[in-house]
């Protein structure tokens, strides 16, 4: 994990949930969607192929476990998983709970409206529930 530094924007727009084997798991501070980020703790990784094959496997495993936990916690209809990196180049994977009728359904969540920050109690409750489910 030597040399890993979390991108300033990711740090400002999210809260630490927990540290997994490879990734920091973070909650995006936008209550419109239960939205988690997996950030591999590898210096200068911008693309999945920048990771070693073993780290790629671990990222896939952690993304799957995070998606499963988020689905169980929220009871959502669909889980969206994606790694875009167009705004923040540091490799990070989005895991988002979606439901028909949510603020952006069925379209993507990126760039849609203005974020609605969590109140501390709601964020803490979601974080506790996800960690318990993991």
Q: What pTM, to 2 d.p., does this model score?
A: 0.95
Nearest of 104, 57, 45, 109 to residue 81 by alpha carbon = 109
Number of domains making up the chain: 1
* Residue ranges in 16-98 assigned as alpha helix (H): 53-74
* Structural contact between residues 58 and 21, judged by C-beta atoms closer than 8 angstroms: yes
Q: What are the pLDDT digits (tens) for 80-128?
A: 999 998 889 999 999 999 999 998 899 999 888 899 999 999 999 999 9
Q: Does a structural domain hold residue 126?
A: yes
pLDDT in tens, 52-89: 999 999 999 999 999 999 999 999 999 999 999 888 99
User: Domain residues for 113?
Assistant: 8-133
The reply to whether 2 falls in a domain is no
Does residue 1 form part of some domain? Answer: no
Q: List 95's β-bridge partners, or say none.
A: 36, 81
Residue 61: inside a domain: yes
The CATH number given to whatever domain includes residue 82 is 3.30.428.10
Residue 93, domain member (yes or no): yes
Asked whether residue 3 is assigned to any structural domain, the reply reads no
């Amino acid at each position: 994990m030597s040399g890993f530094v979390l991108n300033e924007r990711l740090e400002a727009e999210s809260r630490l949930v927990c540290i997994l084997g490879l990734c920091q798991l973070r909650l995006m501070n936008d209550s419109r969607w239960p939205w988690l980020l997996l950030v591999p703790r590898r210096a200068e990784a911008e693309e999945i192929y920048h990771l070693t094959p073993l780290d790629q496997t671990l990222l896939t495993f952690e993304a799957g476990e995070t998606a499963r936990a988020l689905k169980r916690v929220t009871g959502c209809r669909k889980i969206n998983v994606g790694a875009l990196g167009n705004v923040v180049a540091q490799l990070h994977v989005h895991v988002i709970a979606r439901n028909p009728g949510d603020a952006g359904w069925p379209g993507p969540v990126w760039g849609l409206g203005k974020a609605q920050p969590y109140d501390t109690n709601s964020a803490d409750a979601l974080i506790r529930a996800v960690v318990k489910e993991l």
